Structure 1
Amino acid sequence: MIEAYNRDWWRATLALCLGSFTVFINLYAPQPLLPALRHTFGVSTLAVGMIMSLATLALAASLLVFGTLSDAVGRRLIMRVTLLLTTLCTLGLALVQNFEGLLALRVVQGFVLGGLPAVAIAWMGDEFDKRALMLAVALYISANTLGGIGGRIMGGVAAEFGGWHMSFLVVGAVSLVCVAVFWKLLPASRNFQSAPFRLGTAFSAIVGHLRNPTLFGAYLLGGLNFLIFINQYSYITFRLSEMPYGLSTQWLGMIFLTYLGGTLGSALSGRVAQHLPQPLCMMLGVTIFMLGTLVTLSPALPLILIGLTVNAFGFFFAHSMASSWVGRHARVSRGSASALYLVFYYLGASLGGIYLEPFWQVAGWQGVAIASWLILAITFAIAVWLRQHEQVLAAHNAT
C-alpha cells in the first residue's frame, strides 16, 4: 500500500487532484452565465437552471454505471477515457446555437463527467493506506473546490469579452492540457483485484450498501447538504444580477472565489479528523454552514461574500468527512459504494432547484435561507445519529 507523502503518493494525488479540477471546471463553467442565458433564450429561472440540474442528474445516473463497471475493468481506464470525452463535449458546447441543443449536450456531458468522481476515491482505497487515504481525499476535494472556482471564473470572464460561446472554448482548451498531464501522471493500479461483472452481483452489492446504516447515513448527509449548497449559488447569481447590486457576468463569476473557503475547509478536515471522530467533524461542518447562511441575509455585498465563504468552508469540511467515511467503511465493492455516495450527492444537486424555487418565488433570498436551514437541521441530526451508531459499534466490538 502507498504511504502518505512518499513519491508515489504525491504523483497519484496530484494526478487525481488535476482530474478532479478538470471535471469541475467543465461542470460549473455555465453557472455564472445563467442570468445572461436566461435573457438570451427568454426562459425562466427554473428553465435556465436546468443547464446545471440536468447535467448533475445525468452525472448521478452515470455514477453507478462507472462505479460498478470499475470493479470489473479497473479504475484507471475509465478515468482517462471519460475525462477526454468530457473535454470534447465542452468544445462542442461552443458550437451550439439554441437552448434545446445546449441542454441535450449538457446531458451527454453530465453522463461522462461521472467517470472520474465515481472511481477516484475507490482507486485511492485500493492503493493507499488509511492515513494516506484520508489525507489524499482531503486534497482531492480541495481540488473540487478549485475546479468549481476556476470553471466559473473562466466562464464568466471569457463570456464578458467573447460571449458565452467563448467561455466554453476557453474551458475546453484548458481541459485538454489538464487531461494530457493526467494521462501521464496517474500510475497503474497495483492492488486492484478484478471481479467479473455480473448484473445480479452488482445489484446485490448496491442493495447491501443501501441496507448498511453506516453508509446510508453518510449518503443522505452528503446529498442533502449538496442540494442546498450548490443551488444557493445559482439563486445568489439571480439576486446579485438584479438591483441594487447589478453585477455583470464577469463579476458574478468572481463571487465563486468564495469557494476558497471550501478549499481550506476540505484541506483542514483530514488533519482535524486525526483528533476528532468523523461524525463530530460532520456536525461541525453543518453548523458552520448554517451560520454562513445566516450571514448571507445581510444586504451588504461584503457580508454576503463572507457568508458564502463560510458556507463553502462548512460544506466541504462535512463533505470530505462523509466521503472518506464511505471509503473507510465499505468492506466490499468499494467502487460501487463510493459511486453510490456520489449518486445521492449529485441527485441532491439536481433536485435542489425544484425544492428552492417555491421559496425563492415567495420570499426571495430570505426564503432560500429558511429552506436551507430546514434541510441542514436534518443533516445535523443524521451526523448525531452516525456518532451514536459509531459508539454502539465500538462498544459492541469491545465486548
Structure 2
Amino acid sequence: MNPIPDEPGRIVRGSDDYRRAGRSLFVAGAATFGMLYSVQPLLPEFAREFGQTPAGASLTLSVSTVLLAAALPIAGLLSDRIGRKRVMEASLLLASLICLAAALAPGFASLLALRALLGILLAGLPAVAMTYLAEEMDPASLGAAMGLYISGNSIGGLAGRGAVSTISDLAGWRWGVGAVALCGLLAAWQLMRRLPEPRRSAANRTTPQEMLAHSRRHLRRPVLLALFGIGAVLMGGFVTLYSYLAFRLLAPPFELPQAWVGWIFILFLTGSVSSPLMGRLRDRRAALGLALGLLAAGLALTLPEQLGLTLLGTALFTAGFFGGHAVASAWVGAAAPAGRAQASSLYLLFYYAGSSLGGTAGGLAWSAAGWPGVVRLIGGMLAAGLLLWLALCLLPSARLSARPYDLDKGER
C-alpha cells in the first residue's frame, strides 16, 4: 500500500505518478546536461581546429551557461503563465534541434552563436523541473525525487561527454554532437508522453511585478542567499575542474588518448549515487558540510602527478558536487514560503553564473600556472563555500523541522 500523502494532491514516493515523474525528469535532466556539457571534453580539439586559446575555446561552454542563467527568470515566469510541463517540453525539443544545428556549424563564430541560443532554450528545463518537484511532491518524498532528478543530470553529463569524446576520436566531433542532439529529441518525446500534468500549479498566474517582488524577498532572506552562493561555488569549482582536467590529461606526463579522456567522465557515476543518498539526509547542514569536505579532499588528491590519485580525487570531488547540489536545490524549494519558481530560478542563476565565471577564470589560471593554478582557484571557491556553510549553521531559521523538507518557518 502506498503511503498517504500529507497534503491532498501531492505525489508520494512509491506511487505510479512518482515513478512516471521520476523517470521522465531523470531522462530530461540527462538530455539537458548531455547537450549543455557535451563540448567540455572537446575544448582541446576546438582550440586546435579553430586556432583558439584554452580560455577562448572555453567560451563554447561559458556562453551557453551564462545565457542559460540570464534566461532562467524569463523561463520561470513563462512556466507560471502557460504551465510547467509546456515550458519543459518546448525547451527540450527546441534545444535538441539547435544542438543538431551546432554539429553543422561552419566556423567558430557560428558555433558560438548556436551554443548561445542553446543556452537560452535550455533554461526552460532546470528551474522549472525543480519547481515542478517542489510543488507536486509530498514533502517527505521531495528529497529523494530531487536526488533522482539530479542523478539524471550526472548520468547525462557522463553519457554526453563520454559519447562525444569517443565518437570524436572515431569520426570527428560533429558526429558526436549530433548524436547527443538525437538523444535530446528522444528525451523530449518521453517527457511529452509520460510526465504527469501538474495539479498544484495550475491556478498560478504570476505577473512580472509579482515575480520581481518574490525575487526581492528571496534576495533578502539570509538562508536563501547563502544557498544561492553555495550553488555558485559548487558549479564554479566543478566546471573548472573538469574543463581543464582534459587539458592536463592530454599533456605530459599523462598523454592519454582523447577517447580515454572523454571517459574520465564515467566518474560522474559517483554523483548518481551521492545525490539521492545525500538528498535523503534529514540534517541538511551536515549533508552540505559533508559535500564540502569531499570536494576539498578530492581537489587535494589531484595535485600529485599520479593518474590513480588524480582519478580518486576527481571521483571524490564529483560525489561531493552532486550530493551538495541535491541538498542545496531541494532546500531552496523548501525554504521559499512563496514564489518557488523565482527561488529556483535565482538559485540556478547563481549556479550557472558560477559555471561561466569559473570556466573562463580557469583558462586564465591554466595559462598562467598550469594545474596548480587551477587547483588554487578552485580552493579559493571552496573557502568561500565554507564561509557560507558556517553562516547557514549560525542562522536560527536554517534549523530543520520535523520533516526533512518542510517549509522553513523562520524569517520570511
| Aligned counterpart, 2:369 | 363
| Aligned counterpart, 1:252 | 261
Which amino acid counterpart does residue 202 of structure 1 have in structure 2?
M
| 1:194 counterpart = 2:200 | no
| 1:287 counterpart = 2:276 | no
| Aligned counterpart, 2:171 | 162
| Aligned counterpart, 2:4 | none
1:354 to 356, 360, 371: 360
- The alignment partner of 2:321 has SS state of helix
Aligned-residue RMSD, C-alpha: 1.7
**Kept after mapping to 2: 8 A contact 1:72/1:194:** no
1:295-348 CA deviation, whole Å, 9 max, x = no partner?
111211121111111000111111111100001011111111111100000010
Which amino acid counterpart does residue 165 of structure 1 have in structure 2?
R
- The alignment partner of 2:285 has SS state of helix
1:179 positional shift: 1.6
Counterpart Cα distance in 2 of 1:177 and 1:260:
22
Structure 1 gap ranges (5+): none
Q: How does 1:102-251 map to 2 (within 5 A)?
A: 102-251=111-260
**Kept after mapping to 1: 8 A contact 2:397/2:409:** no
Counterpart Cα distance in 2 of 1:354 and 1:236:
14
Counterpart Cα distance in 2 of 1:152 and 1:181:
22
Counterpart Cα distance in 1 of 2:409 and 2:319:
34
Counterpart Cα distance in 2 of 1:394 and 1:18:
31
Q: How does 1:318-397 map to 2 (within 5 A)?
A: 318-390=324-396
Which amino acid counterpart does residue 263 of structure 1 have in structure 2?
S
**Kept after mapping to 1: 8 A contact 2:72/2:349:** yes
Pick closer, same or farther for the CA change 1:397–1:12 going to 2, 3 Å. closer
1:96 positional shift: 0.8
TM value normalised by structure 1:
0.95
| Aligned counterpart, 1:269 | 278
1:184 positional shift: 0.7
Counterpart Cα distance in 1 of 2:174 and 2:391:
47
- The alignment partner of 2:215 has SS state of helix
Counterpart Cα distance in 2 of 1:336 and 1:73:
15
1:243-263 CA deviation, whole Å, 9 max, x = no partner?
222223211211111111211
Counterpart Cα distance in 1 of 2:397 and 2:101:
51
Pick closer, same or farther for the CA change 1:397–1:239 going to 2, 3 Å. closer
Counterpart Cα distance in 2 of 1:354 and 1:174:
28
Counterpart Cα distance in 1 of 2:396 and 2:332:
13
| 1:45 counterpart = 2:54 | yes
What count of residue pairs does the alignment treat as equivalent?
395
Pick closer, same or farther for the CA change 1:334–1:262 going to 2, 3 Å. same
Counterpart Cα distance in 2 of 1:393 and 1:255:
38
1:352 positional shift: 0.5
**Kept after mapping to 1: 8 A contact 2:58/2:363:** no
1:391 positional shift: 6.0
1:60 positional shift: 0.5
Share of identical aligned residues, percent? 34
Pick closer, same or farther for the CA change 1:19–1:392 going to 2, 3 Å. closer
Which amino acid counterpart does residue 313 of structure 1 have in structure 2?
A
1:360 positional shift: 2.1
1:199 positional shift: 2.1
1:267 positional shift: 1.8
Counterpart Cα distance in 2 of 1:24 and 1:244:
31
The structure richer in helix per residue is: 1
Structure 2 gap ranges (5+): 1-9, 402-407
Counterpart Cα distance in 2 of 1:338 and 1:310:
26
TM value normalised by structure 2:
0.92
1:354 positional shift: 3.4
**Kept after mapping to 1: 8 A contact 2:275/2:326:** yes
Counterpart Cα distance in 1 of 2:49 and 2:226:
42
- The alignment partner of 1:215 has SS state of helix
Counterpart Cα distance in 2 of 1:6 and 1:195:
25
**Kept after mapping to 1: 8 A contact 2:228/2:351:** yes
2:312 to 306, 316, 319: 306
| Aligned counterpart, 2:6 | none
Counterpart Cα distance in 1 of 2:162 and 2:242:
13
1:269 positional shift: 0.7
1:45-73 CA deviation, whole Å, 9 max, x = no partner?
00000001001011101111111221222
